[in-house]
Structure 1
Amino acid sequence: MSGNLLHVNATVTCPHGAPATVLPAQSRVLLNGQPASAIADLHTVTGCPFNISGKPQPCVTIRWVVPSTRIRINGSPAVLQSSVGLCQSPEQVPQGPPNITVVQQRVVGQ
């Protein structure tokens, strides 16, 4: 599966619309002047409004389960626009896949 590589300022949201941010683990590999995103990076979600029966269950992290199969950044698989991930609650309960809407358009990987 191929797709455009994500960088730290790509637009990613949880299934409930809250924005995700990336704390990059490296700064050497750049896409449009911004660090490329890999599964070693910390992907956090802030402001998720999701709750179950009145108990807050916000998405707080994204765990990428199907990253790039060929591209590695400092030994860690890169994250592509076509990558599959799971947003997780503080208890690590899967909340659904993240939505990737805006990425750079120049570098494509597999």
Structure 2
Amino acid sequence: MPGFLLHMGATVQCAHAGQAQPSSPNPRVRVGGQAVVTQAAPYLVAGCMMPPPLAGNGPCVTAQWISAAMRVRAGGAPVLLQDSQAICAPTATPLSVLVTQMRVKGV
């Protein structure tokens, strides 16, 4: 499915409202003046509300993307799209893309 490309300024959260940011966006490819993000870069999660191990298995710390664009690459790695899927560690919950740029689409 086509979807809008994720960029550094996209709003991404874990299932427990923690803010997720890419660990290393691609500095050479930009949309709207901000670097795009590839599947190779794990996301770092801060502010996850999942309780620590005695009451739960959280909080979310990192997330790895398991799906990305099939045809669009930056620096040899597939770019992330608005509908890309990710799994957080250690909770195994998904990330949600809430806001991203709305001009450039990829497949």
Indicate whether 1:42 and 2:42 are aligned. yes
Q: What is the CA deviation profile of residues 31-68 of structure 1, one whole-angstrom value per residue up to 9, with x for unaligned ones?
A: 11110010122310011121254256111111111111
Which runs of no fewer than 5 residues in structure 2 stay unpaired?
none
CA contact (8 A) 1:61 1:88 kept: yes
Q: Residue 10 of structure 2 aligns to which amino acid in structure 1?
A: A
Residue 89 (structure 2) aligns with: 88
Change in Cα spacing, 1:82 to 1:55, as seen in structure 2 (3 Å) is closer
Q: Normalization by structure 2: what TM-score?
A: 0.90
Residue 105 (structure 2) aligns with: 108
Query: Match of 2:12, SS?
Result: strand
Residue 65 (structure 2) aligns with: 64
Q: What is the CA deviation profile of residues 61-108 of structure 1, one whole-angstrom value per residue up to 9, with x for unaligned ones?
A: 11111111111110111000011111112xxx51x1111110000000
Q: Residue 104 of structure 2 aligns to which amino acid in structure 1?
A: V
Q: In the comparison of the two structures, how many residue pairs are matched? A: 106
Identity %, equivalent residues = 36
Q: Which portions of structure 1, spanning 4 or more consecutive aligned residues, are displaced by more than 6 angstroms?
A: none
Q: Normalization by structure 1: what TM-score?
A: 0.88
The CA distance in 1 between the partners of 2:3 and 2:11, in whole Å, is 15
The CA distance in 2 between the partners of 1:40 and 1:21, in whole Å, is 13
Which runs of no fewer than 5 residues in structure 1 stay unpaired?
none
Instruction: State the Cα distance separating 1:23 from its structure 2 match.
Output: 2.7
Instruction: State the Cα distance separating 1:9 from its structure 2 match.
Output: 1.1
